Structure 1
Amino acid sequence: MGGRSTTLQEELQSLIDDPYKKPRTLANSNAPLLPVIREFKDLIEGDAEVYMLFHCMFDQIPNSPTYRNDPSGKPQVRDYKTMLSALNLVIRYAPIFLNVPGRTTEYASDMLEWPMATPAGSTAFLNAKVNAQLKKILNDWATYLRSPESRSSLTNDQNGWFGEPAMKSMPNFDEEFICDPNAPFHGFSSWDDFFTRQYRPGIRPVEFPDNDSIIANACEAGPFRVAYDVKANDKFWIKDEPYSLNHMLANDDYAPRFNGGTVYQALLHSKAYHRWHSPVSGVIRKAYIVPGAYFAANSIQGFDALGPHRSLAYITQVNTRAVIFIEADDPSIGLMCFLAVGMCEFSSCECTVVDGQRVIKGEQLGIFHYGGSTYCLIFRPETKITFHLQDVTPGLGARDWPVRSALASVGGGRKDPWVLVDGCESIRVTAL
């Protein structure tokens, strides 16, 4: 990605100098629209349905003090032209660290959290043409985030990822992750290289590596929900957001084998480790990416500052995701599925395994790029599984469960009481 002018660099530096108070939109920016942003503008203005939806989604945001700012605290974008100007800026710089409660960094989704919760927004961001263009925009940004130029935020200042505030939020970083604290940028070649960092050898070892009946946690993530007796097709857009297996698995030929089975879902946070690891030893039967939405949210959840986090179950059916079927060595597990689901602009899922490959429990399956995401483990109804999360209660506030640690076992009893999990009362879950 080229053409970064002096004027633009001045604007970016101004944003970095005052990242939380300065309006992100910069509607009066002198920077010309990048080709992919101009294509998005042409799509919006050239398609009658898309044009209507991108007007209505901003009009449907309540005009009240509550929605004057977006959830990050910046003035709310109120029209698609300002949105385009903001996107034109966002994809020209690497994410910075924000030392703000509840906010780790800036996201393009911040300005869209209110719009995508509207009826028009929930429709617009499921539109195939809109998502195809968003994919092009995010791929353009990805090219930049993999370049040495993107290391501009890997600094020691207040908004740098190695500054005191960031390091305080990521204790023991130098000891846990492969890096060189004495080298420029801690030895990382790009912002994406930093984001997809790896643990040092000996950190996060596989628990019970020789016991095939023990299922390992696939990601460094907080448990969100466990659901039993999941239906092949369900109304995943309603408030309780049940899982709908055929939609989650993109109507794969294997999908019917999981009808009535179990789904475990967990949430990765933006500061977390973002590589996926096999929960079992076995053989990869299929591994592929399902194209989908990027900024989708369940409008039934209403205007919530947590945005897509309140739609975690919903997005497993509609967002871009990686589907990996594994035939476990333990026959009491048998065929299972790992589902990696991207969230918002961070829907970049990379599989690092291929069909027919043998994997050992704890071995890498793939990588999330650029931000927070969610993942699911899906088991057939024949798999009698018990989860062992001790004092951790599932939900948005659950602490991270270490990757490659023991998560569950097969062959034991099952608990299915009705409990309240993140405000959802009508889904059967484990009492973890």
Structure 2
Amino acid sequence: MLKLFYRLFIELTNHSLSSKLIALFTKSRLSALLIPSYAKIYCINQSEMEKNLKQYKTLQQLFIRKLKQGIRPIDKAENSVISPVDAVIEDVGTITKTKEITVKGKTYSVQEMLGSNQAAEKYLNGLFIILYLSPSHYHRIHSPISGVITNQWSLGKKSYPVNRLGLKYGKAPLSKNYRLITEVNVNGKHTAIVKVGAMFVNSIELTHKDEYLTKGEEMAYFSFGSTVVLLFEKDAFELDPAIKVPMDIKVGERIGYLKQ
């Protein structure tokens, strides 16, 4: 019963019309009335924000806020991989030979997530990391590594919630939601940075236009809380032993190392 109720609820709130209406509201001056209560309910750390709370004129401006310069130091180790977002590490695991990952007891097809068998093939037996952003988190996405962008593409239409309930009861949000995939090559090995929308159609905006990414550099932002999935080729990445599941993490903090 709970499963059916939750699926019905997210269906009603994720059609294109309702998504557009919610998006229009968050961009309106009227939404500014909710900013103080939103900041309080979600315990937003105002001391980190680039601007004072009163300077944000809409909820969306608060969602996509920037932080003060230097507030997120980037791990300096040459071969380190950093968290691209402020988030909760929800799951870490191995991509199976059948091109699948298991998150919260639910199986997802990497082939479906990336849109093709060819794209998924290179990640067989590699590692995946799921990073969930709540409405309270900083919503800008930074590059976890330095490397050359070899491909970038988008897939999906609707955007179901990707919180714990969404992962458990939603219709495979990690592989069906609107998502923007950036594939980066480092020393001949690929990393896929899968940015998954959580609400609104096309809720992911690119801010980086060059062919080369530098570790820690901003590359995009979410218009609402969401999830980033990192996929690494086999023998390309080693998880830092300090990483646990679940675990809070911030942009710039080390999650592992690229193997030489």
Determine if the TM-score, normalized by the shorter chain, exceeds 0.5: yes
Asked whether 1:369 is paired with 2:235, we answer no
Superimposed CA distance per residue, residues 65-94 of structure 1 (whole angstroms, 9 cap, x where no aligned partner): xx7xxxxxxxxxxxxxxxxxxxxxxxxxxx
Asked whether 1:406 is paired with 2:254, we answer yes
CA spacing shift, 1:232–1:275, aligned 2, 3 Å? farther
Residue 352 of structure 1 and its aligned partner are, at CA, apart by 2.4
Asked whether 1:179 is paired with 2:51, we answer yes
CA spacing shift, 1:227–1:306, aligned 2, 3 Å? closer
C-alpha distance in structure 2 between counterparts of 1:153 and 1:232, whole Å: 46
Asked whether 1:350 is paired with 2:215, we answer no
Q: Is the 8 A contact 1:316 1:341 kept in 2?
A: yes
Match of 2:119 in 1: 254
Q: How does 1:208-287 map to 2 (within 5 A)?
A: 208=76, 211-234=77-100, 240-251=105-116, 253-287=118-152
Q: Is the 8 A contact 2:90 2:130 kept in 1?
A: yes
C-alpha distance in structure 2 between counterparts of 1:239 and 1:306, whole Å: 8
C-alpha distance in structure 2 between counterparts of 1:177 and 1:245, whole Å: 36
C-alpha distance in structure 2 between counterparts of 1:269 and 1:239, whole Å: 17
Q: How does 1:115-154 map to 2 (within 5 A)?
A: 115-117=5-7, 121=8, 125=11, 134-154=15-35
Q: Determine which of 230, 234, 241 is the counterpart of 1:381.
A: 234
Q: Determine which of 187, 190, 193 is the counterpart of 2:58.
A: 190
Amino acid at match of 1:374: T
Q: Is the 8 A contact 1:261 1:381 kept in 2?
A: yes
Higher strand share: 2
Residue 293 of structure 1 and its aligned partner are, at CA, apart by 3.4
Task: Tell me the TM-score normalised to structure 2 length.
Answer: 0.85
Aligned length: 260
Secondary structure of 1:142's aligned partner = helix
C-alpha distance in structure 1 between counterparts of 2:101 and 2:147, whole Å: 33
CA spacing shift, 1:230–1:240, aligned 2, 3 Å? same
Task: Tell me the TM-score normalised to structure 1 length.
Answer: 0.53
Amino acid at match of 2:234: P
Residue 215 of structure 1 and its aligned partner are, at CA, apart by 0.5
C-alpha distance in structure 2 between counterparts of 1:170 and 1:272, whole Å: 7
Q: Is the 8 A contact 1:215 1:406 kept in 2?
A: yes
CA spacing shift, 1:252–1:199, aligned 2, 3 Å? farther
- Radius of gyration: which is bigger? 1
CA spacing shift, 1:296–1:401, aligned 2, 3 Å? closer
* Identity, % of aligned positions: 19
Q: Determine which of 32, 36, 44 is the counterpart of 1:170.
A: 44
CA spacing shift, 1:313–1:366, aligned 2, 3 Å? farther
Amino acid at match of 1:141: I
Asked whether 1:320 is paired with 2:178, we answer yes
Q: How does 1:334-345 map to 2 (within 5 A)?
A: 334-344=189-199
C-alpha distance in structure 2 between counterparts of 1:324 and 1:317, whole Å: 15
C-alpha distance in structure 2 between counterparts of 1:250 and 1:353, whole Å: 23
Task: Flag structure 1 segments of 5+ consecutive residues without an equivalent.
Answer: 1-60, 62-66, 68-112, 298-304, 413-432
Match of 2:245 in 1: 394
Pairwise CA RMSD of aligned residues? 3.3
C-alpha distance in structure 1 between counterparts of 2:157 and 2:28, whole Å: 26
CA spacing shift, 1:222–1:201, aligned 2, 3 Å? same
Higher RCO, Cα 8 Å, sep 6+: 2
Higher helix share: 1
C-alpha distance in structure 2 between counterparts of 1:179 and 1:280, whole Å: 28
Secondary structure of 1:325's aligned partner = strand
Residue 227 of structure 1 and its aligned partner are, at CA, apart by 1.3
Q: Is the 8 A contact 1:320 1:341 kept in 2?
A: yes
Residue 252 of structure 1 and its aligned partner are, at CA, apart by 6.6
Secondary structure of 1:161's aligned partner = helix
Match of 1:108 in 2: none
C-alpha distance in structure 1 between counterparts of 2:217 and 2:85, whole Å: 11
Residue 232 of structure 1 and its aligned partner are, at CA, apart by 4.5
C-alpha distance in structure 1 between counterparts of 2:244 and 2:185, whole Å: 29
Q: Is the 8 A contact 1:322 1:351 kept in 2?
A: no
